[in-house]
Structure 1
Amino acid sequence: MTDTDTQPRIGFMFDRDRAPEELAGFAATVEELGADDLWVVEDLGWTGAISAATVALAATRTLRVGIGIAPVALRNPAVLAMELATIARIYPERLVAGLGHGVTEWMRQVGAAPASPLARLEESIVATRGLLAGETVTLHGREVTIDGVRLVHPPAVVPPIVTGVVKPKSLALSGRVADGTIIAEGNGPAELAAAREHIEAGRAIGDRPSHELIVFAYLHVGDDPGRAAAETGEMVSGQAEWLGVAPADLFTLIGPAADIPAKVAALHAAGATTVVLRPLGSDPDSQVRTALAALSAR
């Protein structure tokens, strides 16, 4: 979709409620229609992101596939690095590894809540990247212990490691040690500007050469507000509650197709380098086609 730096990358999310056996076909459709990315999710009780990313990569030829996100509290960094290395060797330069804290209540449900989520995330990123780079890693941290471990088959190109985080300290951490940050659905240009302040503060004392700002956004294309509310209301209300705002204050791409280019442009102007649309409601393939057609007509 994108040929120059003047436009953001455009991606689509495979929604967690869809059956896993639909993933390969959806990924192929997204690629055929000209999107840049496909993103998969890992929420407790739904599907695993490593396996989902592998399925999507196997079904496509050039599409970049992002994991958004794998909770580090559930994964030993050595095992995570082994999994990512295998994928990155087979599908070089097509994987983005998204990591995050994980939902606190979910981590408690499986007995994996760390004493220090910030330390767990930072130490996991540092250890995972070192292993992927072929280094012998020794790290005795607050949350992560790796003692002289080295991958036998590291990838030729280390995939970018990005974080899906929300709060100021986590955003600063992301700027300091990650290659990018995922901003959750519902956040618009104003929220991106605020998040970037924390990210840039972290970057100022970090050593990462670049930082990709990836924004997720709900998508529902149509001219009927009643149908849109029926098909998106529950998801929007839940996200608004999680973010602590009114549903009407969420930034979404819910509405007429003609509104899509301006809203994507607003996110890009606020710093988004990748915009990932999450189709809601029936017929997500049609939503993808309509959104890409609207963006191509810019």
Structure 2
Amino acid sequence: MTDDARTPVRLGIASVPTHPPETLRDLAVAAEASGLDDLWVWEDCFKQSGLAAAAAALGWTERIRVGLGLMPVPLRSTAITAMEIATLARLFPGRFVPAVGHGVQSWMAQAGVRVDSPLTLLREHTVALRALLSGEEVTTSGRYVSLDAVRLDWPPTTPVPLWVGGVGPRTLVLAGEVGDALILANALTPDDVRAAAGTAQDAAARAGRTLTDVHATLIATTGPRAQKRLDAELPTWGSAPGQGVGAAGDAATIAAAVRDLADAGATAVAVQPTADEPDLAAFATFLGAQVRPLLA
């Protein structure tokens, strides 16, 4: 594939919950000022609220798209999730990207909300949530989601794409069947991204649907001891050094890694800083000022 034929990829940065919540404001402001396309916030148990973080980041910025990847559906009722998404969508039209998933099952057990069939819950939740966000009155009685003539008084004024996240084969199929876009919950190699995106896209095609986006994560470091810092970070996220996950080095090295993920099917890549990143705002500025131009 020639450079001219390549599809543009959105470049963002992730606000990782290994950093305290009070670091978010400087990161969000720097990410927007540097020209990055996206800021992604997380909701890992039991660290930070993704919706509170997304609302704050949206309020501190004016242009950048803010994604929440992702909300574990066992933690929230479908109705309150629809209310929260619709409120942010109306306050910040076109700038908020919500994503849902079945959550990490050990965490769901700790919270007392683990269910026997996480995929059934995710399907029922996503289908009902999309209908509510579309302004429909919803009555349904499923295994886990029950609604009786529920309609939002203030639905979004513009369509809100509903992203579905996960990495397991059955979750990827479900994401293709009911999601508008796919968010891969873990940092993966380009080959793994290609396979996962293909699984979800094939499932979408069989369901007569199309996935508009595929989101991937790149753990990255730059500066002194970059490779050692990356190697130390990877085990935290279930990877190991030498497996092709992550990038360490200068702007060209990180841009090449982002492009590899894009060539594998990712339309948006969020760079994930390490837990020991000493200056998140400076790292965001580096990505926007030095890495992003190399992807143009």
Who is 1:73 aligned against?
74
Matched, 1:294 2:295: no
- Name 1:270's counterpart in structure 2: 264
CA gap 1:77/1:195 in 2 versus in 1, 3 angstroms: same
Q: 1:205 to 1:138 in 2, by over 3 A?
A: farther
The offset of 1:17, in angstroms, is: 2.4
Which residue matches 2:149?
148
Aligned equivalents of 1:297 and 1:8: distance in 2? 11
Partner of 1:253: 247
Structure 1 residue 42 displacement after superposition: 0.5
Q: Is contact 2:11–2:292 with CA below 8 Å preserved after alignment? A: no
Q: Which stretch has the larger CA shift, 156-165 or 76-85?
A: 156-165
1:192 aligned residue: 193
- Tell me the TM-score normalized by structure 2: 0.92
| SS in structure 2 of the partner of residue 57 of structure 1 | helix
Residue 98 of structure 2 corresponds to 97
Name stretches of at least 5 consecutive residues in structure 1 with no aligned partner.
none
Letter in 2 for 1:263: A
Residue in 2 that maps onto 1:163: 164
Q: Percent identity?
A: 36
1:235 matched residue in structure 2: 233
- TM-score w.r.t. the length of structure 1 is 0.91
Aligned-partner residue type, residue 79 of structure 2: A
Change beyond 3 A, Cα 1:240–1:210: closer
Between Structure 1 and Structure 2, how many residues are aligned? 288
- SS of corresponding position for 2:17: coil
Partner deviation per Cα, 1:31-74 (whole Å, 9 max, x = no partner)? 01000100000011211111110000000111110001110011
In 2, the alpha carbon distance for the partners of 1:101 and 1:112 equals 11
Name stretches of at least 5 consecutive residues in structure 2 with no aligned partner: none
**Could you tell me which amino acid in structure 2 is paired with residue 80 of structure 1?**
T
SS in 1 for 2:242: helix
Alpha-carbon shift at residue 207 of structure 1 (Å): 4.5
Amino acid across the alignment from 2:247: L
Q: Distance in 2 between matches of 1:29 and 1:267?
A: 24
Offset of 1:252 from its aligned partner? Answer: 0.5
Task: Indicate if the aligned counterparts of 2:222 and 2:248 stay in contact, CA closer than 8 A.
Answer: yes
Residues of 1 paired with 2:294 and 2:262: CA distance? Answer: 17
Q: 1:110 to 1:13 in 2, by over 3 A?
A: same
Give 1:20 shift.
1.7
Q: Distance in 2 between matches of 1:155 and 1:184?
A: 26
Supply the AA of the counterpart residue of 1:284.
L
Task: Give the counterpart letter for 2:193 in structure 1.
Answer: L
Residues 24/285 of structure 1: CA separation in 2 closer, same or farther (3 Å cut): closer
Assess, with a 3 A threshold, how the Cα gap between structure 1 residues 5 and 149 changes in structure 2: closer, same or farther.
farther
Question: 1:76–1:126: structure 2 CA closer, same or farther, 3 Å change rule?
Answer: same
* Cα offset, 1:138, TM superposition: 1.3
Aligned residues of 2:167 and 2:186 also touching (Cα < 8 A): no
Return the offset for 1:223.
Answer: 5.1
Equivalent position SS for 1:11: strand
Decide whether the 8 Å contact of 2:220 with 2:230 is kept in 1.
no
- Structure with more relative contact order (C-alpha pairs < 8 Å, separation 6 or more): 2
Larger CA deviation: 276-285 vs 71-80: 276-285
- Which aligned segments of 4 or more residues in structure 1 are displaced greater than 4 angstroms? none
Equivalent positions of 1:117-132 (< 5 A) are: 117-132=118-133
Q: 1:153 to 1:294 in 2, by over 3 A?
A: closer
